[in-house]
Amino acid sequence: VKVGSEKTIDKAKSFAAEELEVNAADVEYQAGEFRIAGTDRAISLFDVAGRQPEARITLDATEKVGGPTWPNGCHVCEVEVDAETGVVRLDRYTTIDDVGRAVNPMILHGQAHGGIAQGVGQALMEHLAYDAQGQLLSGSFLDYALPRAGDVPAFVTALSEVPSTNHPLGFRGGGEGGITPALGVIMNAVVDALAEFGVTHIDMPASPERVWQAIRDASAAAPAGR
Report d(CA 72, CA 170) in Å as an integer. 14
Q: What is the pTM of this model?
A: 0.76
What is the distance, to the nearest Å, from the Cα of residue 17 to the centroid of all Cα atoms in its chain? 43
Percent of the chain with pLDDT over 70: 96
| CB 90 within 8 Å of CB 120 | yes
Selection from 207, 214, 213, 217 nearest residue 88 by Cα? 207
Q: What is the DSSP letter of 136?
A: B
Phi, psi values for residue 88, rounded to 5°: -105, 130
Report d(CA 175, CA 143) in Å as an integer. 28
For 21-66, what is each residue's pLDDT tens digit?
A: 999 999 999 999 999 998 999 999 889 888 877 656 666 677 777 7
| CB 151 within 8 Å of CB 120 | yes
For 59-71, what is each residue's pLDDT tens digit?
A: 667 777 777 888 8
Question: Over the chain, what is the mean pLDDT?
Answer: 90
**What stretch of H or E contains 220?**
helix 208-221
Q: What is the mean pLDDT of residues 131-159?
A: 93
For 174-214, what is each residue's pLDDT tens digit?
A: 877 788 899 999 999 999 999 999 999 999 999 999 999 99
